[in-house]
Amino acid sequence: MPRHLVLFALGAAALGIARDVRAQGFQVNEHGACVMARGGTGAAKPCADGSAMVFNPAGLVDGRIGWTISAGVTLIDAYGGFTDDLTGAEAELQNTPVPVPHGFIQYQRDKWAAGIGVFVPYGLGTTWEDTFRGAFAGYDNNLQNIYIQPTIAFKPHPMVSIGAGFDLVIGKVTLTQLVDLSTNEVPGFPLTTFGMLGVPPETPFANGALDGSGTGFGGHFGIQIHPHERIWIGANYLMRVAMDYEGDVDFSPYPTGIVLPAGNPFGVPAGTPLDSVVAGAFVDGPLLDQPVQASAPMPDQFSAGIAVDVTPSLTVLADYNWVHWSLFEDLPVTFEDDDLSSTTIENYQDTHGVRLGFDWSATSKVAVRGGYIFHQAAAPDETVTPLLPEGPRSEFSIGLGYQFSRRFRADAAYQYLDQQIRRGRTAEFPEGETPDLSLNNGLYKFKAHLFGITLTAGF
């Protein structure tokens, strides 16, 4: 039972420590308003704000001599819900807007460039009312992973640039979840659950809260080719990362509201609250606060793109991306009490994504941008849950850039995320069972508005 308290924390981490929203999950691709406005197209010709450290390290060598410093934030306002097949009841996400920051510093001299970037490729969450059926899987879930990436780039040939970055990943996850009394064994009666004694299904009696953190290391490599004065081709590869997570699970009572009648199977007087009968679970077990550990692979990914200057003022761009999500086959979790340790099957699938964008210098000071993104879903139909109700997505973006002076400029962007309605479930499968479609009991919907701004200075 407490096993599920780490499914989001470590599952989202396993989904989560790659980079760019180039698949699904809790990834975020908006690490600069310029690239965000043109649909995340940055593999061939990154924007001149340092975000090449994210999209293609080779793009740092772009001809601008001196220092470039940029900082900004993307505000993600997600909304959606779940519609139950049987009752038609709708539960709405209770998310509040989430700010996701980014910052880059780089220096370029002749054929060399170096810099460091700090950004949050995973910074989303899902929040539901605790009365939602899916609260037993998780109702207040958050993931934040900070990437610190020193990067270097070199131009060995007028038509070729190469770059590489070292990634230090600092991750933090939290999960809040209800515990179902009906599925728990009655103390002193092995193989007998409270549900067998008449406790209704989905009766919460405990609230579990997990906080975990971990660190990991990886690398990022890129190449950029400029075969023609109007054409750029680029590719980059992000290594997989092994993350070791450590955390603590804390349990607290949650009132059941059940009063026992006379002749109850627990042998207590009529009128006794059921909560007093189960109170020992928080003192003698199994709901004791305890540490938890896990290791999870972060998928590697590959991106490639092309950019063409159709006119001196108009550039069109296209990117392709592949993410190795099939690495996330299962999730082993180790508790201090080894009897609670388990392995959960996830069976994620590799994903492919396409991005299209344009960047038009309308005047010497104003740039107009737009883009479109499509991503496949990583989670198969049998593993879509309240923790991560993701699916195939289309995203539409627009934005503006304004050059205040030779040294200062600002970029702004808006993006609308439209996810396809996806069937899923609100309950977890019993330990040892392979997930299938039998527990899918409703439809998830998910959409988001994103607003980004980046300020850049050059010296």
CATH of the domain at 344: 2.40.160.60
* 29 assigned to some structural domain: yes
- Report DSSP letters for 196-255, one per residue: GGTPPSS-EEEEEEEEEEEEEEEEEEEEEEEEETTEEEEEEEE--EEEEEEEEEEEEE--
CA pair distance 55, 50, nearest whole angstrom: 10
Q: What is the pLDDT of residue 220?
A: 94
- Domain total in the chain: 1
DSSP bridge partners of 298: 241
**What confidence tier does 7 reach under pLDDT thresholds 50, 70, 90?**
very low
| Mean of pLDDT values over 153-160 | 95
* 281 assigned to some structural domain: no
**What confidence tier does 341 reach under pLDDT thresholds 50, 70, 90?**
confident
Sign of torsion over alpha carbons 280, 281, 282, 286: positive
Residue type, 249: V
20, pLDDT greater than 80: no
pLDDT tens-digit series, residues 198-229: 899 889 999 988 888 889 999 999 999 999 99
* 247 assigned to some structural domain: yes
**What confidence tier does 128 reach under pLDDT thresholds 50, 70, 90?**
confident
- Contact, 157 vs 168, CB < 8 A? no
Residue with structure tokens 């990943």? Answer: 169
21, pLDDT greater than 80: no
User: What's the whole-number average pLDDT of the chain?
Assistant: 86
**What confidence tier does 356 reach under pLDDT thresholds 50, 70, 90?**
very high
Using a pLDDT cut of 90, give the percent of the chain over it: 49
Structure tokens at 81: 């819900």
Largest CA distance in the chain: 88
Domain that holds residue 198: 2-258+288-458
Over its C-alpha atoms, the chain yields an Rg (Å, rounded) of: 25
Residues 6 or more apart whose Cβ sits within 8 Å of residue 274? 181, 199, 205, 256, 258, 259, 260
CA pair distance 123, 76, nearest whole angstrom: 9
369, pLDDT greater than 90: yes
Q: What is the pLDDT of residue 186?
A: 85
Buried-state track 271-298, b at ≥16 Cβ within 10 A, e below 16: ebebbebbeebbeeebbbebebbbbbbb
365, pLDDT greater than 90: yes
| Mean of pLDDT values over 383-407 | 89
pLDDT tens-digit series, residues 279-335: 888 887 778 888 888 777 778 889 999 999 999 999 999 999 998 888 877 777 777
Q: What is the pLDDT of residue 16?
A: 32
- Burial of residue 253 (number of CB atoms within 10 Å: 0-12, 13-18, 19+): middle
Residue with structure tokens 């109700």? Answer: 389
**What confidence tier does 124 reach under pLDDT thresholds 50, 70, 90?**
low
Q: What is the pLDDT of residue 163?
A: 97
* 420 assigned to some structural domain: yes
406, pLDDT greater than 50: yes
Closest C-alpha among 431, 402, 397 to residue 415: 397
CA pair distance 137, 110, nearest whole angstrom: 54
Give the residue with greater pLDDT, 421 vs 329.
421
Instruction: Select the highest-mean-pLDDT range: 131-135, 223-227, 347-351.
Output: 223-227
Instruction: Select the highest-mean-pLDDT range: 8-22, 31-45, 75-89.
Output: 31-45
Q: What is the pLDDT of residue 123?
A: 56
Give the residue with greater pLDDT, 298 vs 276.
276
CA pair distance 282, 276, nearest whole angstrom: 11
* 267 assigned to some structural domain: no
**What confidence tier does 45 reach under pLDDT thresholds 50, 70, 90?**
very high
Q: What is the pLDDT of residue 338?
A: 74
* 282 assigned to some structural domain: no
Q: What is the pLDDT of residue 120?
A: 81
Q: What is the pLDDT of residue 28?
A: 64
5, pLDDT greater than 50: no
Q: What is the pLDDT of residue 24?
A: 40
122, pLDDT greater than 90: no
| Mean of pLDDT values over 91-111 | 89
**What confidence tier does 22 reach under pLDDT thresholds 50, 70, 90?**
very low
Lowest-pLDDT range, 4-18, 377-391, 400-414, 437-451? Answer: 4-18
Q: What is the pLDDT of residue 99?
A: 85
13, pLDDT greater than 60: no
Torsion from C-alpha of 357, 114, 118, 76, nearest 10 degrees: -10
* 442 assigned to some structural domain: yes
48, pLDDT greater than 80: yes
* 445 assigned to some structural domain: yes
| Mean of pLDDT values over 357-366 | 96
8, pLDDT greater than 60: no
CA pair distance 29, 458, nearest whole angstrom: 24
Which helix (H) or strand (E) covers residue 335, if one does?
Answer: strand 330-335
